Amino acid sequence: MTDNKITNAQIEAQIKELPAQPGVYMMKDETGMIIYVGKAKSLRSRVRSYFRKNNQSYKTQLLVRYIYDFDYIITDTEVEAYILEANLIKKHQPKFNIRLKDDKTYPFIKVTKNLDFPRVFKTRLVKNDGAEYFGPFADVDAIYKTLDVIKDIFQLRSCKKEIIAGEPEAKPCLNYHINKCLGPCIGAVSKEDYHELIDQVMLFLSGRQEELKAEVEKMMENAAQERNYEKAARFRDALKAFAKLSESQKVMSDKNIDQDVVALVEGENDLACSQLLLVRNGRLIGQEYFILEGTEEENKAEMMGSFLQQYYEQAAGIPDELLLNTDLAYRKLIEERLAVLKGKKVKILQPQKGDKKKMLEMAERNAAQNLKKEDIRSKYEKQRTSGAVKKLAEILEIEKEPHHIEGFDISNIQGTDTVASMVVFKNGRPSKKDYRRFKINTVEGPDDFSSMKEVVERRYARLLREDKKLPDLILIDGGKGQLSAAYEVLELLGIDDLAIIGLAKKEEEIFKPGQSEAIIIPHHSPALQLLQRVRDEAHRFAVSYHRKLRSRRLTHSMLDEIPGVGETRRNALLQHFGSLAKIREAKIWQLKEVEGISSKTARKIFDYLRENMRAF
């Protein structure tokens, strides 16, 4: 690879061009990967400080060694830079930043209150779509338990269909008959009554059971006075459920405020834990914890600031008070941002005595315990990943440990829609942002060998053209035939020194080019288990892509058979509804809303899809 590290002269020239304005800067390594994201009140002075040799910490010195280039984004204010920094850290997970260890998105409970008959369900995607979100929650089981309680108490619908007030269907689903749903689809409950229940659900999710209890008691009395005894009985059962729920929730305060209690505890191996206790209306309703990486040489105030920055940019609810067990870096920025998110000022306290101090001590004890669990998990994960990588190099007798593995698989069913997948594992873990999928262009029919040749040639010819880093090991899903096909391409490209193997699934035999005897690794070996994870992930990724293409082809084919629906109308329908299933569920007036669909055509589509329902 060409050495493209910027020289001192280039650095100085680029820094001179930097504006003395707020913004975010991104340090990159030789591969172009972002390794550090920072915010600045003045981009010029902040970036320049990295290349001064005085007063640099060891971590900064190490970072500078890896910097090959940098980029930046100008913002109007320092607060905007603060927000953008949090989003970029979450997206890129730079190794020199303090970051939440879990790369997954945390689940929320979503209430689609903007619909005629709202739904309440779990989601991991927060949008600005008029819905209400509660969370995030680290404990998925807690979400399901909460949703179960909500369903039992309120008998809300669980179906995904669109239900319009005033347009009842002929038959309800089974849930209505077993008293698990109020039946909005058949008009058994009005839109107004249903929204009253949704308001109660949102009180419930906000932790305000006392307010909800008073509201439900009043509604039960009104229902009894109106002699609607069935409705009154439902409210009575809800009150019993609230009583049981309240018994399980620890009373933390007699104050009618929402508090987040955050305790940060440092551990070994450059890890720290932020423990979060969620106190709503004086009751502890839940807890979450987050492991922070990249904390070496960082003080606790910096760690706490980084955690709050990243957490509250994705959190759906902001408390009235934040109780912290440490000092706080960039306090003013965080206070300003929380005030914007909350709509009013949020108190940030560091209590030294009393009940609030006791809450923090409770959070600290939990954080210390969670760090112990993480240490055990990390040791096991190290054995599965870095330990497996090292052992694999020994078994395969390759000089370089395979920290970067690329795995390939071919997928077709009855010779149609042949596709290939490529997955990437780095340091023993999947790197999903580097996955690639391919449509096979030059091969007709079910020819896995030729298909493998095509995809391997396309992948590595491109890497060579673009002077990109090659993998340490290539894994082909298959035996000698697939391996020979792939290796033939590497020879033609002049990179036959690349380590490449085939893994045959039946006996889990490993083949290397030029060796007739298979390598057998014990089934309990972490090295074999790593290869199996790569192979299975490549297979999963290929099959899912194949199914998507096949489904799309069948969808297009079915829509093309409808009289009056050509390519333009077909595309308009799919763009409007998103899927064939949604088009089939649509009513005639909804079909007419699509551009280019007349009343006559809408009727044809409606009738055709219902006559051919079994085809789906």
Other CB atoms within 10 Å distance of the CB of residue 279: 27
Convert the pLDDT of each residue in 305-333 to its tens digit.
999 988 888 776 789 999 999 999 889 99
What is the overall mean pLDDT for the chain? 83
Q: What tokens does 244 get?
A: 């049981």
The answer to whether 133 and 150 are in contact (CB under 8 A) is no
Q: Which residues of 77-102 are buried (b: 16+ CB within 10 A; e: fewer)?
A: ebbbbbbbbbebbbebbbebbbbbee
* Domain-wise residue ranges, the chain: 8-97, 108-249, 259-382, 392-548, 561-615
8-state DSSP, 591: H
- DSSP character string of 84-106: HHHHHHHHH--TTS-EES--SPP
Give mean pLDDT, residues 272-293. 82
- 0.85 surpassed by pTM: no
Of 3.40.1440.10, 3.30.950.10, 3.40.50.300, 3.40.50.2300, which CATH number belongs to 8-97?
3.40.1440.10
Query: Taking 70 as the threshold, does the pLDDT of residue 7 lie above it?
Result: no
| Topology match between the domains 259-382 and 392-548 | yes
Helix (H, G, I), strand (E, B) or coil at 227: coil
Neighbours of 126 (CB within 10 A): 17
Q: Residue 40 is inside which H or E element, if any? A: strand 34-40
Tell me what pLDDT residue 16 has: 83
Higher pLDDT, 551 or 81: 81
Q: Cα separation of 467 and 571, whole Å?
A: 39
* pLDDT at residue 68 is higher than 90: no
Instruction: Note the pLDDT tens digit of each residue in 124-156.
Output: 877 778 888 876 665 666 677 777 777 767 889
Integer-rounded Cα radius of gyration of the chain: 29
**What's the pLDDT band for 555 if we cut at 50, 70, 90?**
low
The candidate with the shortest Cα–Cα distance to 426, out of 106, 103, 67, is 103
Residues 98-105: what's their mean pLDDT? 64
The string of pLDDT tens digits covering residues 330-357 is 899 999 999 998 889 999 999 999 888 9
- What tens digit of pLDDT does each residue of 479-535 get? 899 999 999 999 999 998 999 999 988 789 999 998 888 999 988 888 999 999 999
What per-residue confidence (pLDDT) applies to 252?
Answer: 54
Who contacts 541 (Cβ-Cβ below 8 Å, separation ≥6)?
A: 409, 421, 423, 435, 437
Please give the CATH number for the structural domain made up of 259-382. Answer: 3.30.420
For residue 261, give the nearest of 287, 236, 223 by alpha carbon.
Answer: 287
Q: Rounded to 5 degrees, what angle do the CA atoms 153, 157, 159 make?
A: 145
- What is the pLDDT confidence band of residue 413, given thresholds at 50, 70 and 90? low
Highest mean pLDDT among 35-44, 70-79, 197-206, 377-386: 35-44
Dihedral (CA of 121, 127, 132, 136) sign: positive
CATH 3.40.50.300 fits 561-615, yes or no: no
Q: Please report where in the chains the tokens 């707020």 appear, as a residue.
A: 22
Distance (Å, rounded) from C-alpha 507 to C-alpha 529?
Answer: 14
Identify the CATH homologous superfamily for domain 392-548.
UvrC, RNAse H endonuclease domain (3.30.420.340)
Strand order of the β-sheet with 132-134 is 120-123, 108-111, 132-134
Residues in the chain: 616
